[in-house]
């Protein structure tokens, strides 16, 4: 199975590296020049569980790869959400082939709506990652903790490939599960992101520290209420009780609590625009669509956008 990873950032790097280590034929696709240049010149530097390794994995700009005529069985999509559409346009000749499947593993909700504008539903797989990963700088990522991933097909046509991808990811040590209810896990993770990623970014601290404040709870309950209402309107299963339990686990110091989530890394560390539009901003937008009030998600969305403006994030 020939696999491309479109978006070779922290999480793309984690998945590409794990698959490469397990012996699969991996190609990275990315647009960030100093990242591509560094990886080509010095290899991909990966600090994994306290150890430094250098992986030599091919990396291409989208246009280069398209020109080369390369084809893939599966393209794993792991760009930033704001770059998804332009990446799909750039690699259209690759991802629109009838025998190529695209596996969307981006953070946040609603990406399949963007992907369906480029690729037929029959060739889309959708999954959800519970691993963490951090970008240190160009060509350099840091990987800690353990995690999991689950995925499924959007259309029966993709079932065999989805199941094959689960086997491959599992073989690469990525703790993969085939799920018939992937929206449930996507919403559940997105809820964590909508609360923890945004609050850690607004308050500039890690998940454990955010979790220590007793005043987190009313904020959390407000967001969960809006999430549950929008999920119901969207026909997605959502379990508030499990969501609360997940939230409590997330701030444990012996777990991912020490982690500074991706939204924090984007805005505070790397001065980049966040994925708020696919998190609280998505709930706000879908709430508006369904006539559901989402004042908590709206407030969080606008605060993150204010902070992006003030920090002049790009």
Q: Is 189 annotated in the active site?
A: yes
Residue with Cβ nearer a second copy (153 or 226) = 226
The answer to whether the CB of 105 falls within 8 A of the CB of 127 is yes
Candidates 56-64, 169-177, 201-209, 229-237; binding stretch for a second copy (CB under 8 A): 201-209
The site string for a second copy over 5-44 (x = CB under 8 A, - otherwise) reads ----------------------------------------
Footprint (CB under 8 A) of a second copy, residues 241-260: none
Q: Does 222 bind a second copy (CB under 8 A)?
A: yes
Q: Does 313 bind a second copy (CB under 8 A)?
A: no
Q: Does 310 bind a second copy (CB under 8 A)?
A: yes
Q: Does 210 bind a second copy (CB under 8 A)?
A: yes
Q: Does 303 bind a second copy (CB under 8 A)?
A: yes
The 10 Å Cβ neighbour count of residue 148 is 14
268-299 residues labelled b (16+ CB within 10 A) or e (exposed): beeebbbbbbbbbbbbbbbbeeeebebebbbe
User: Which listed residue (80, 142, 189, 307) is catalytic?
Assistant: 189
| CA pair distance 17, 24, nearest whole angstrom | 10
The answer to whether the CB of 120 falls within 8 A of the CB of 23 is no
Instruction: Fill in the DSSP letter of residue 237.
Output: -
Please choose, from the candidates 64, 47, 46, 48, the residue with its C-alpha nearest in 3D space to the C-alpha of residue 56: 46
As measured in angstroms, the least distance from the Cβ of 118 to a second copy is 29
Pairing of strands 124-129, 149-153: antiparallel
The site string for a second copy over 82-121 (x = CB under 8 A, - otherwise) reads ----------------------------------------
Candidates 58-66, 138-146, 153-161, 292-300; binding stretch for a second copy (CB under 8 A): 292-300
**Residue in 120, 137, 173, 295 binding a second copy, rule: CB under 8 A:** 295
| Cα-based torsion angle of the residue sequence 32, 35, 38, 41 in order, rounded to the nearest 10 degrees | -60
User: Residue 143: enclosing H or E segment and its boundaries?
Assistant: strand 140-143
Q: Give the Cα-Cα-Cα angle 158, 161, 167 (nearest 5 degrees).
A: 140
Residues lying near a second copy in the complex (CB under 8 A) are found at 199, 202-203, 205, 209-210, 212-216, 218-219, 222, 293, 295-296, 298-300, 302-303, 305-307, 309-310
Please list the active-site residues. Answer: 189
């Amino acid at each position: 199975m020939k696999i491309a990873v479109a978006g070779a950032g922290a999480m793309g790097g984690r998945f590409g590296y794990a698959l490469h280590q397990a012996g699969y034929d991996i190609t990275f696709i990315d647009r960030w020049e100093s990242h591509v240049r560094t990886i080509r010149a010095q290899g991909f530097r990966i600090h994994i569980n306290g150890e430094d390794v250098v992986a030599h994995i091919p990396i291409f700009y989208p246009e280069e790869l398209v020109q080369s005529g390369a084809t893939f069985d599966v393209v794993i999509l792991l760009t930033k959400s704001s770059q998804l559409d332009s990446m799909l346009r750039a690699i259209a000749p690759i991802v629109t082939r009838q025998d190529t499947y695209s596996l969307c593993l981006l953070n946040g909700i609603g990406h399949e709506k963007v992907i369906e504008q480029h690729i037929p539903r029959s060739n889309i797989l959708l999954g959800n990652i519970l691993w963490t990963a951090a970008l240190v700088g160009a060509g350099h990522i840091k990987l800690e903790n353990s995690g999991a991933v689950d995925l499924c097909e959007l259309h029966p046509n993709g079932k065999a490939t989805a199941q094959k991808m689960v086997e491959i990811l599992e073989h690469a040590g990525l703790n993969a599960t085939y799920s018939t209810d992937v929206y449930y896990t996507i919403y559940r993770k997105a809820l964590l992101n909508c609360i923890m990623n945004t609050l850690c970014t607004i308050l500039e601290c890690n998940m454990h520290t955010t979790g220590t404040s007793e005043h987190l709870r009313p904020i959390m309950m407000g967001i969960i209420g809006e999430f549950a209402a929008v999920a119901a309107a969207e026909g997605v299963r959502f379990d508030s009780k499990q969501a609360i339990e997940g939230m409590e686990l997330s701030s444990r110091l012996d777990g991912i609590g020490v982690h500074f989530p991706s939204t924090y890394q984007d805005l505070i560390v790397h001065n980049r625009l966040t994925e708020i539009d696919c998190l609280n901003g998505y709930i706000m937008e879908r709430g508006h669509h369904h006539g559901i009030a989402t004042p908590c998600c709206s407030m969080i969305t606008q605060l993150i956008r204010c902070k992006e403006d003030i920090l002049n994030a790009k």
